[in-house]
Amino acid sequence: MIVDHGADDLVVSAAITGANASWLRPSLDANGIDLSTHERSGGPDYNAAQNAQGRWKDIWAAGQGIQVIHEIEPTAAIVTRMRDEYAAAADRLQSLR
């Protein structure tokens, strides 16, 4: 879902947890959560056994950084890339001295 969607799919609401957060609208839709109705009803209902709002694993939050995620990669590949980028930046900084 994160790969397939972007910042336009984020909605900020306190209706799910009681605190403002950025939620992926497709996950809300998939769980039958209409924020406009939910917010008018007085806020979240934390009884997970009786409602979709309690199924945290199915409701996805994300930030604006979602725009730069284009693929799913193994953690090792990401860590290796970050290590290499750090080393290159350190070399550039060292060359300025």
Instruction: Provide the whole-model pTM.
Output: 0.64
Residue 49's pLDDT is 47
Domain membership of residue 53 (yes or no) is: yes
Beta bridge partners of 21: 13
Domain membership of residue 47 (yes or no) is: yes
Residue 41's pLDDT is 60
Number of H helices, E strands in the chain: 3, 2
Domain membership of residue 27 (yes or no) is: yes
The residue range of the domain holding 50 is: 7-70
Number of domains in the chain: 1
Domain membership of residue 91 (yes or no) is: no
Give residue 83's identity as a one-letter amino acid code: R
| HEC-encoded secondary structure of 63-84 | CHHHHHCCCCCCHHHHHHHHHH
Residue 48's pLDDT is 46
Phi, psi of 24 (to 5 degrees): -80, 115
Residue 19's pLDDT is 86
User: Along the 97 residues of the chain, how does pLDDT read in single tens digits?
Assistant: 889 999 999 999 888 878 889 999 999 999 888 887 765 665 555 554 455 555 567 888 999 899 999 999 999 999 999 999 999 999 999 999 8
Residue 12's pLDDT is 92
